[in-house]
Amino acid sequence: MSTPCKVLMLTHNYPRFEGDFAGVFISLLARRLPECGIEPVIVAPHAPGTPEFEEMDGVKVYRFRYAAKDEDENLAYHGSMHKLVLGSVSGIFRFKSFLDSFRKAANQIISKEGINALAGHWLVPSGMVMKTINKGRNLPTFMYSHGTDVRLARKYFRALYRYLSDFCLNLDGWTVVSNYLKEEMVALDPRLKNRIEVLPIPHDETVFFRDESVIRDENLVVAVTRFTKQKRFDYLLRAFARVLESRPQSKLELYAGGPLRSDADELIARFGLSDRVAIHDPVPQPELRDVYNKAAVVVLNSVEEGFGLALSEAMLCGTAVIGANSGGIVDIIEHEKTGLLVEADNTDSLAEALLRLLEERLLRGRLASAGHEYATGTYASAALAGRYAEIIKRGLVHGHQ
């Protein structure tokens, strides 16, 4: 392949501005792929205030309009697409309009840019779009699943998976970010066992690293999360209340937004935690590095997590971590070696782990060092982008045989 392979990457999440969290790992992957002989082109939904075309870090980004007014373009970027769609009949019609616009834009870009392959992120909605646009084109087609799409396929969209099953079985490559997600899809369709590869989310090691200039606070616990039921922030607050009974100098900072913020405020008031717990809005990645480096412990006790990005980012920053023994978190943490795993939805288990790491400096240091070494060797963006590029190149050759 003497000339770069042009790949159209379809996603409903992609950074809209500098410091945006939405799809930042896809942006990182896109920035690294040219080093591997792959030229990515992005198609993503428009959002209020964003241009319909721009180049971000040398990557072409097309954003399609799907509503007449900016304020009505709110299906993407907020993590609530499935709720908005399933919540009403009008939501279903809005989603159809979204898919139609997505499909039209992708077709136009394929012709305009001379695209050689399609690479979707998340089965819903990208897989639904790719299934139809590729019928007459026969381009090599790839899927990268990050968590939400697999969880929805299992819980809500079994009928939708039946609609997509032929598409999935004929993909030229399908990657998922954890063994948990692979097991979930294989349970849904055993024919996928040898067709799915595990490829962790690439991390930007130029952003997340151990910064010796930041002074750690040995009393500080940090959670980078969301106020949703899945994240189990209520168990964390209950566990931290127990920590304070033995260690009143401890502090908890949550960097989070989400629909259940008021529930968190209510629990903080009920347990009398307002002096020891602070809630902050999400911050850009460079600021997040400082947050991780300042913390003694970073915790993510959510269940059925597709990956657990906050933990791996914290490990790159040399911080000890605690995670629930659930979902993709078990790919990141090896218990008692690179961090601590706690029983999911168990307040006592979480409180005990928090106290151990806050009180036992040697244990905390050993786990932090081992976690840092593991994360540095496992999640570096250059190596993972290289693996992804090889999957695409292999599929491109197969697709032209």
pLDDT in tens, 16-75: 998 888 899 999 999 999 999 999 999 999 999 999 999 999 999 999 999 999 988 988
User: Please, which pLDDT band fits residue 82 given cuts at 50, 70 and 90?
Assistant: low
Instruction: Give the pLDDT score at 276.
Output: 98
Is residue 32 situated within a structural domain? yes
Same domain for 28 and 156, yes or no, is yes
> Domain range spanning residue 252?
217-378
Instruction: Give the pLDDT score at 74.
Output: 87
Same domain for 18 and 149, yes or no, is yes
Is residue 56 situated within a structural domain? yes
Alpha helices in 175-333 (DSSP H): 179-188, 233-246, 261-270, 285-294, 309-316, 329-332
Structural domain total, the chain? 2
- Phi/psi of residue 149, nearest 5 degrees: -65, -40
Is residue 93 over pLDDT 50? yes
- DSSP β-bridge partners for residue 9: 42, 119
| Average pLDDT estimate for 101-110 | 97
pTM of the model: 0.89
Is residue 208 situated within a structural domain? no
Same domain for 75 and 156, yes or no, is yes
Domain containing residue 310: CATH number: 3.40.50.2000
DSSP 200: P
C-alpha 311/C-alpha 144 separation (Å) is 21
Same domain for 312 and 250, yes or no, is yes
Is residue 34 situated within a structural domain? yes
Same domain for 247 and 161, yes or no, is no
User: Please, which pLDDT band fits residue 401 given cuts at 50, 70 and 90?
Assistant: very low
Q: Is 50 exposed, middle or buried (0-12, 13-18, 19+ CB in 10 A)?
A: buried
Write the DSSP assignment of 12-81 as a string of letters. S----STT--TTHHHHHHHHHGGGGTEEEEEEEE--TT--SEEEETTEEEEEE--SSSGGG--SSSSS-H
Same domain for 247 and 167, yes or no, is no
Is residue 207 situated within a structural domain? no
Instruction: Give the pLDDT score at 86.
Output: 62
Is residue 210 situated within a structural domain? no
Same domain for 28 and 166, yes or no, is yes
Looking at the chain, how many residues does it have? 401
Same domain for 93 and 184, yes or no, is yes
Same domain for 59 and 149, yes or no, is yes
Same domain for 141 and 11, yes or no, is yes
Same domain for 238 and 339, yes or no, is yes
Same domain for 188 and 314, yes or no, is no
Is residue 113 situated within a structural domain? yes
Is residue 251 situated within a structural domain? yes
